[in-house]
Structure 1
Amino acid sequence: MCNCGKKRTAFKQQRIVDPHLPAVVPQQNSLQSIQPVKTVMFQYTGNTALSVIGNVTRKSYRFGFPGDIQHIALNDVAGMAAIPVLKRI
């Protein structure tokens, strides 16, 4: 059985490097498009600990002890404000 198709495919996937041409460095578009996330601080006023998942970002926030302060993404602030044991500071 002939495996000519595999050789053809392998040949097409090879890169041809010309030493006379400048090297091309791929740009990292994902790093250029990252913007800092704006946050709001919330303090936990409950008695034990609390874990909350942001309603928009789906990020998990963990308040480990009474008085713990966490930075909450701006998109999740409305949902956090509705929790009675969290106080915006």
Structure 2
Amino acid sequence: MSCCGQKRNENRQQEQRRAAGAVYNYTPPKMWEDVQFEYTGKTALTVNGSITGKRYRFEHTGSKLVIDYRDAAGMTGIPVLRKVK
């Protein structure tokens, strides 16, 4: 028969093992709306978002993509992209 102290330690160890293997998929709520950009260049363009690291691929002239609001400020510095209202 085990005593209470051993059972407590066993429960604590099980809890620690569960916590160590836990994966948290927390997505914070969006603070602003995402922004649409149009590509005006002549060939395809791939841009990595400066904040999210997400890859945005504009296939041809006139391609429009919705860009995460966190990456939008960096996109405004690219001459061949224009913000769509």
Q: Give the TM-score normalised by the residue count of structure 2.
A: 0.63
Report deviation, 1:39.
1.1
Report deviation, 1:36.
6.0
Q: Give the gaps of 5 or more residues in structure 1.
A: 1-11, 13-28
Matched with 1:34 is 27
Who wins on radius of gyration, i.e. which is larger? 1
Q: Give the TM-score normalised by the residue count of structure 1.
A: 0.60
Structure 1 runs (4+) greater than 6 angstroms displaced: none
1:58 aligned residue (53, 59, 74): 53
Report deviation, 1:48.
0.8
Q: Give the gaps of 5 or more residues in structure 2.
A: 1-9, 11-23
In structure 1, how many angstroms separate the alpha carbons of the residues matched to 2:29 and 2:59? 25
Report deviation, 1:41.
0.1
In structure 2, how many angstroms separate the alpha carbons of the residues matched to 1:34 and 1:78? 21
Change (3 A) 1:36 1:69: farther
What is the identity, as a one-letter code, of the residue corresponding to 1:34? T
Residues 7-51 of structure 1, C-alpha deviations (whole Å, 9 max, x = no match): xxxxx7xxxxxxxxxxxxxxxx63xx4356541000000001000
Answer 1 or 2: which has greater helix percent: 2
Percent identity, please: 43
In structure 2, how many angstroms separate the alpha carbons of the residues matched to 1:39 and 1:50? 20
Alpha-carbon RMSD across the aligned residues, in angstroms, is 2.2
